[in-house]
Amino acid sequence: MTKISDLPRDLTEEVLSRLPVTSMRAVRFTCKKWNTLSKDRSFRKKHLRGAISAAKKKQTKEFQVIMMIQYRVYLFSVNLLNPSIERIGKLISLDVEDRVDISKIFHCHGLLLCITKDMSRLVVWNPYSGQTRWIQPRNSYHRLDRYALGYEEKNNSCRSYKILRFMDNYQGDNPPYLVREFEIYDLNSDSWKVVDVPPDWEIEYYHRGLSLKGNTYWFAQEKLPIFPLGRVVSDMADFLLCFDFTRERFGPRLPLPFHSFVEDTVTLSSVRDKQLAVLFQPCYASTVKIWISSKIEPNAVSWRKVFLAVDMKPLTGFQFDINSGSFFVDQKKKVAMVLDKDRFRSKLTRNIAYIIGKKGYFKKVDLGESTVPSLASLVCSYVPSSTQI
């Protein structure tokens, strides 16, 4: 009787190339022959073409997204009108994932930059291939570090991936002292270099950067001087800021379609890796508004009319957390999914996906228990990549 592992190579390739991305880890552990085949460049290109094609076909009804829940990273299939959110499976594990908790993830073109829960280690991870690169710090990492993952587009269409790490915070008291560090890690050269940036702006530690077309965008505000104890300033200039990984510098301040205060909810998302979306919910009002860019570049942005405006008072009655997770939009169906906690309870014990749309469309999907009240789930769209780390 012929074993399936003894099939001819061309037939084996044809069968295995039809498997979903989340099955590749099992393929590698089946036998040495399949493990070797799964790492072959020609096979991976064939399998990747099939995976991307299947993902694009599904996106007429569903989206594949990455969610971080309970310090773990999963692949989900999302239908925002059904609605249904199905956990496809845990992505191919990090080498030591079972012993490492992940507190933050940043996505760029199929690669993930992961920050461990103890804020002591960084790893760049390709969930499709299972490849990882653990990044050693130039000196040390800090709990208030901000990070971004992007790339420089070379003339020969080769992408050079880079990490931006920065910190710009006052520490201690009597008087406080400023700690300012800006540095870039180049995956090609495996080295850090210091970048001179004298910022006249601030990015709060809970505002995550969004990678789009190889660059990273943040919601930022005017930097204000230190005031005497007890004085609070809640109103300041706000804008969009981009770090250009090719030029290795921040661009000019870019306008937003609203003006916010410190207590307001502002978060960024992307639309098919081509456009930028921004969600705004003021603390003094219940209406959530989402805009989508018509043009987005490191030095220019323009906005369309409001994509979606939903009064949340009759639906949830609360403001989405200012440092909560993220959101995702289906541009064609005019709906959005916002990840947060179950705020009807005194303790935030459940991860919830709130799906909102026009004419009062509203659904809740329970994503499971939350044992980490301060850590909301994160979501970003995902298409597998064969990029070598």
Task: Specify the pLDDT at position 66.
Answer: 84
Burial of 7 (0-12, 13-18, 19+ CB in 10 A): middle
DSSP assigned state of 144: T
Task: Using 50 as the pLDDT threshold, list the residues of the chain that sit under it.
Answer: 1, 60, 95-97
Compute CA 288 distance to the chain's CA centroid, rounded to the nearest angstrom. 21
Q: Give dist(CA 106, CA 208) in Å, integer.
A: 8
In a domain, 339, yes or no: yes
In a domain, 16, yes or no: no
Residue for token digits 């200012």?
Answer: 322
Q: Residue 202 forms beta bridges with which residues?
A: 221
Task: Specify the pLDDT at position 150.
Answer: 95
In a domain, 6, yes or no: no
Domain extent, residue 133, equals: 59-381
In a domain, 9, yes or no: no
Q: What is the pLDDT of residues 296-318, one digit of tens each?
A: 999 999 999 999 999 999 988 88
Task: Specify the pLDDT at position 234.
Answer: 60
In a domain, 146, yes or no: yes
Element (H, E) at 58: helix 41-58
Strands (DSSP E) contained in 226-312 are: 238-244, 249-250, 265-271, 275-281, 287-297, 300-303, 308-311
Q: Which residues of 365-387 are buried (b: 16+ CB within 10 A; e: fewer)?
A: bebeebebeebbbbbbbbbbbbb
Task: Specify the pLDDT at position 163.
Answer: 97
Q: What is the pLDDT of residues 227-280, one digit of tens each?
A: 555 555 566 889 999 999 999 999 999 999 999 988 899 999 998 888 999 999
Number of separate domains in the chain: 1
In a domain, 131, yes or no: yes
Task: Specify the pLDDT at position 272.
Answer: 80
Task: Specify the pLDDT at position 96.
Answer: 46
Q: State how far the alpha carbon of 156 is from the alpha carbons of 153, 214, 215, 241, in Å.
A: 8, 16, 18, 28
In a domain, 319, yes or no: yes
Q: Residue 97 is part of a domain; what is its CATH number?
A: 2.120.10
Q: Give dist(CA 189, CA 180) in Å, integer.
A: 24
Q: Which residues of 178-207 are buried (b: 16+ CB within 10 A; e: fewer)?
A: eeebbbbbbbeeeebeebebeeebebeeeb
Q: State whether the Cα torsion 36-40-46-51 is positive or negative.
A: positive
In a domain, 318, yes or no: yes
